[in-house]
Amino acid sequence: MKKIRLFLLLFMLLMISLWGCQGASSDGSPADKADEGETTEALAGTGEMIDETTAPQLDKVKMICELATLECRYHNVAKSVKEAGTGLSHIGEKERIFWIEYTGIAEISFRIEELKMEQDGTNITITLPEPQVTCRVDSDSWTPDSYVISDDQWIQKNPITADDQTRAVNEAQTAMEENIRNNSSLLNTAKLQARELIENYITQVGEAAGVTYTVNWEEAETQYHLQDIG
What integer is the mean pLDDT of 148-173?
A: 84
What integer pLDDT is reported at residue 15 of this predicted model?
45
pLDDT of residue 30: 42
State residue 53's pLDDT score: 61
Looking at residue 107, what is its pLDDT?
93
Rounded CA gap, 162 and 88, in Å?
Answer: 24
* For range 164-186, the mean pLDDT: 90
Cβ neighbours of residue 194 under 8 Å, at least 6 residues apart?
64, 65, 68, 110, 128
pLDDT above 90: percentage of residues in the chain: 30
Q: Which of 189, 63, 213 is nearest to 133 (CA)?
A: 189
pLDDT at 227: 36
**pLDDT tens, residue by residue, 102-144:** 999 999 999 888 999 999 999 999 999 889 999 998 888 877 6
Angle at 155 between CA 154 and CA 161, to 5 degrees: 80
Q: Is the pLDDT of residue 41 over 90?
A: no
Distance between CA atoms of 90 and 162, rounded to whole angstroms? 20
Contacts of 49 (CB under 8 A, 6+ apart): 42, 43
- Residue 112 CA to residue 59 CA, distance in Å, equals 10
